């Protein structure tokens, strides 16, 4: 098998046995990127030179037996809102097109400490606002399974890269579903950790009370390996939580006999594509055959209010987080303005795309005096009700399973002019962010037309160990992970 096609787990073993070198592996990835990324469009920046230098350093580390980890020499790419010192970090926005951070995000420092090789930065919806990656100011990213369709979003570059084998693993961020939804569209494994599990230091903020960084990988074992490196307390993020990081990889294979699984009726409601429902139900019956106890009577009654509450809270936080892009401190500044106020206005009018502007306006409105109680406070109250819904289910169930998205990948242009239709594609992922829970999307089948479908598994706060264990067991039962599209035919 070509090196770029292998899992992180298997490459870690090949590197450990000395069968391959990090330089060889990195070259294989860089060649793959040159061969297919013109068509897929995952990468905004490829740091070929830097990657080879890091790979040489990783090989040296291995030869000297100096602090070698399972990630030493593994090429990893990052969503372009994760700060990397000296390397562009654009948020796929004109506003940050020329921005090069002075520091690394904590997740990046941890990857470097583990000896990973950072190959580049990946496309996304501008400031992570969107569900299709069509809101990137720079380029479109195609779904490797069907080039006419979107990869999902906002981490579409991160999931398309893993599906197209232009990265061994990537990091994305998930504020309302942006790792899980594109993972389901691209047929890869995407996990959103518990809020506070992974440091947000150096993650450019969209909605701070919801954002989490998480791994995108080919398999569940790879997800466990990557999470183990990036998770953990960080004094630089005041919302990071000081609970121990367990060896997620070591604990994957536990039996799931007697495990209680809730299948919430609200997640199988109207609007759900029949092929998605069939795949999710089949996954449940396979879990049940393996000894899990499926409870179809569980209910999350406030699910219907999640999208409305999210789009008030997320936009309110965004309007405040994005106030810093004023043309003064860093980033883009419009030319030819007379006076400070005009400079602000022109900078923000030219620097931000339509969706970002729409959200800033929505959020500013929701926070304005007179509306604050009616919108923002109300949305916070709904958030509490949604969290309590989950608490009640988790009093009895170990995990919840559900679809990730009501539909498989949609076509370019299908929803871009209808913001509400786009927002509704997040209906099954948003409640998890509002409640701060960990969740994962694992491939669970394909539609007749060959589009991947994802199974969502949700666990209690900080129960990533259980989450990954169930996901791994399902991965063996389902047999859908690790597949990749035959891109050679598509890109010629
Ligand atoms: N699609 C959702 C939104 O547009 C979620 C985005 C995200 O998780 N970053 O807000």
Per-residue pLDDT tens over the stretch 161-214: 999 999 999 999 999 999 999 999 999 999 999 999 999 999 999 999 999 999
C-alpha–C-alpha distance, residues 212 and 470, integer Å = 21
Q: Which of 83, 178, 199, 223 is catalytic?
A: 178
Asked if residue 356 has pLDDT above 80, the reply is yes
**For a substitution probing ligand 1, which of 79, 91, 124, 125 has the most ligand atoms within 8 Å of its CB?**
125
C-alpha–C-alpha distance, residues 404 and 440, integer Å = 9
Asked if residue 150 has pLDDT above 90, the reply is yes
What is the distance in A from the centroid of ligand 1 to the CA of 200?
A: 16
The packing angle between helices 48-64 and 22-40, to 10°, is 150
For residue 82, report the phi and psi dihedrals to the nearest 5 degrees. Answer: -100, 120
CATH of the domain at 154: 3.90.1300.10
Q: Which residues, including other chains, have CB under 8 Å from residue 418's CB and lie 6 or more apart?
A: none
- Split at pLDDT 50, 70, 90, the class of 421 is confident
Asked if residue 44 has pLDDT above 90, the reply is yes
Q: For 110-126, what is each residue's pLDDT tens digit?
A: 999 999 999 999 999 99
Residue 233 tokens read as: 């307390």
Any domain includes 282: no
Asked if residue 329 has pLDDT above 90, the reply is no
Any domain includes 142: yes
C-alpha–C-alpha distance, residues 236 and 200, integer Å = 9
Region 480-487 average pLDDT: 92
- According to the model, what pLDDT value does residue 419 have? 86
Q: Which residues, including other chains, have CB under 8 Å from residue 42's CB and lie 6 or more apart?
A: 77, 122, 123, 141, 157, 158, 160, 161, 164, 166, 167
How many structural domains does the chain have?
Answer: 1
Q: Which atom of ligand 1 has the smallest separation from the CA of 174? A: 8
- Split at pLDDT 50, 70, 90, the class of 492 is low
Any domain includes 307: no
Pairing relationship of beta strands 43-46 and 293-295 according to DSSP bridges: unpaired
Region 13-24 average pLDDT: 98
Region 323-348 average pLDDT: 95
201 and 234 in contact (C-beta within 8 Å)?
Answer: yes
C-alpha–C-alpha distance, residues 127 and 198, integer Å = 19
What is the distance in A from the centroid of ligand 1 to the CA of 70?
A: 31
Any domain includes 120: yes
- Extended strands (E) in 268-407: 293-295, 399-403
Any domain includes 275: no
**For a substitution probing ligand 1, which of 122, 177, 193 has the most ligand atoms within 8 Å of its CB?**
177
Any domain includes 246: yes
Asked if residue 491 has pLDDT above 80, the reply is no
pTM beyond 0.95, yes or no: yes
H helices of 196-271, where?
Answer: 220-230
Range of the domain at 92: 3-254+472-491
Averaged pLDDT score across all residues of the chain: 96
Q: Which atom of ligand 1 has the smallest separation from the CA of 131? A: 1
Quick check: CB of 115 below 6 Å from ligand 1? no
Residue 101 tokens read as: 């951070």
Region 25-40 average pLDDT: 98
Region 467-492 average pLDDT: 91
Catalytic residue at 93?
A: no
Region 405-419 average pLDDT: 94
Asked if residue 137 has pLDDT above 80, the reply is yes
C-alpha–C-alpha distance, residues 298 and 261, integer Å = 9
C-alpha–C-alpha distance, residues 171 and 79, integer Å = 6
- According to the model, what pLDDT value does residue 357 have? 98
168: left (phi over 0), alpha (psi -120 to 50) or beta: alpha
What is the distance in A from the centroid of ligand 1 to the CA of 426?
A: 7
- According to the model, what pLDDT value does residue 178 have? 98
For residue 65, report the phi and psi dihedrals to the nearest 5 degrees. Answer: 60, 35
What is the distance in A from the centroid of ligand 1 to the CA of 176?
A: 5
The packing angle between helices 306-321 and 354-367, to 10°, is 100
Q: For 260-317, what is each residue's pLDDT tens digit?
A: 999 999 999 878 999 999 999 999 999 999 999 999 999 999 999 999 999 999 999 9
What letter would DSSP give residue 458? E
Torsion sign over Cα 33, 37, 38, 41:
negative
C-alpha–C-alpha distance, residues 42 and 488, integer Å = 16
Tell how many helices (H) and how many strands (E) occur in the chain: 16, 11
Q: For 212-250, what is each residue's pLDDT tens digit?
A: 999 999 999 999 999 999 999 999 999 999 999 999 999
- Extended strands (E) in 104-203: 117-122, 169-174, 189-192
- Extended strands (E) in 342-438: 399-403
Any domain includes 320: no
Any domain includes 306: no
């Amino acid at each position: 098998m070509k090196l770029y096609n292998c899992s992180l787990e298997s490459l870690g073993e090949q590197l450990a046995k000395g069968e391959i070198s990090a330089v060889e592996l990195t070259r294989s990835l860089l060649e793959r990127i040159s061969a297919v990324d013109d068509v897929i469009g995952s990468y905004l920046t490829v740091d070929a030179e830097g990657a080879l230098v890091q790979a040489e350093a990783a090989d040296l580390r291995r030869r000297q037996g100096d602090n070698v980890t399972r990630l030493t020499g593994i090429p990893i790419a990052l969503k372009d809102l994760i700060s990397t010192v000296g390397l562009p970090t654009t948020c796929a926005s004109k506003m940050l097109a020329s921005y090069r951070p002075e520091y690394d995000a904590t997740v990046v420092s941890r990857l470097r400490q583990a000896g990973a090789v950072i190959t580049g930065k990946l496309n996304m919806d501008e400031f992570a606002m969107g569900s299709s990656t069509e809101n990137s100011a720079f380029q479109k990213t195609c779904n490797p399974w069907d080039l006419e369709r979107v990869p999902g979003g906002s981490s579409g570059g991160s999931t398309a890269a893993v599906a197209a084998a232009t990265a061994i693993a990537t990091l994305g961020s998930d504020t309302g579903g942006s790792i899980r939804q594109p993972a389901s569209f691209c047929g890869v494994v995407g996990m959103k950790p518990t809020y506070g599990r992974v440091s947000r230091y150096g993650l450019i903020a969209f909605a701070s009370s919801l954002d989490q960084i998480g791994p995108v990988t080919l398999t569940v074992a790879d997800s466990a390996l990557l999470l183990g490196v990036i998770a953990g307390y960080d004094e630089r993020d005041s919302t990071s939580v000081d609970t121990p990081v367990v060896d997620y990889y070591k604990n994957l294979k536990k039996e799931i006999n007697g495990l209680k699984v809730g299948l919430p009726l609200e997640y199988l409601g109207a609007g759900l594509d029949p092929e998605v429902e069939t795949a999710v139900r089949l996954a449940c019956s396979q879990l049940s055959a393996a000894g899990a106890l499926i409870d179809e009577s569980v209910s999350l009654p406030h699910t219907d209010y999640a999208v409305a509450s999210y789009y008030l809270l997320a936009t309110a936080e965004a309007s405040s987080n994005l106030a810093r892009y004023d043309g003064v401190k860093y980033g883009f500044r419009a030319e030819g303005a007379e006076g400070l106020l005009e400079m602000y206005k022109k900078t923000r009018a030219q620097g931000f795309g339509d969706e970002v502007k729409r959200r800033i306006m929505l959020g500013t409105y929701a926070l304005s005096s007179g509306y604050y109680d009616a919108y923002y406070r109300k949305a916070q109250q709904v958030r509490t009700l949604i969290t309590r819904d989950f608490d009640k289910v988790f009093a009895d169930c170990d995990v919840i399973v559900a679809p990730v998205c009501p539909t498989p990948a949609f076509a370019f242009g299908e929803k871009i002019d209808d913001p509400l239709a786009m927002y509704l594609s997040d209906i099954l992922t948003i409640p998890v962010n509002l409640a701060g829970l960990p969740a994962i999307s694992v491939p669970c089948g394909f539609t007749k037309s060959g589009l991947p479908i994802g199974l969502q598994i949700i666990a209690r706060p900080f129960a990533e160990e259980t989450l990954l264990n169930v996901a791994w067991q399902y991965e063996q039962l389902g047999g859908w992970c690790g597949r990749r599209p035959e891109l050679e035919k598509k890109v010629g």
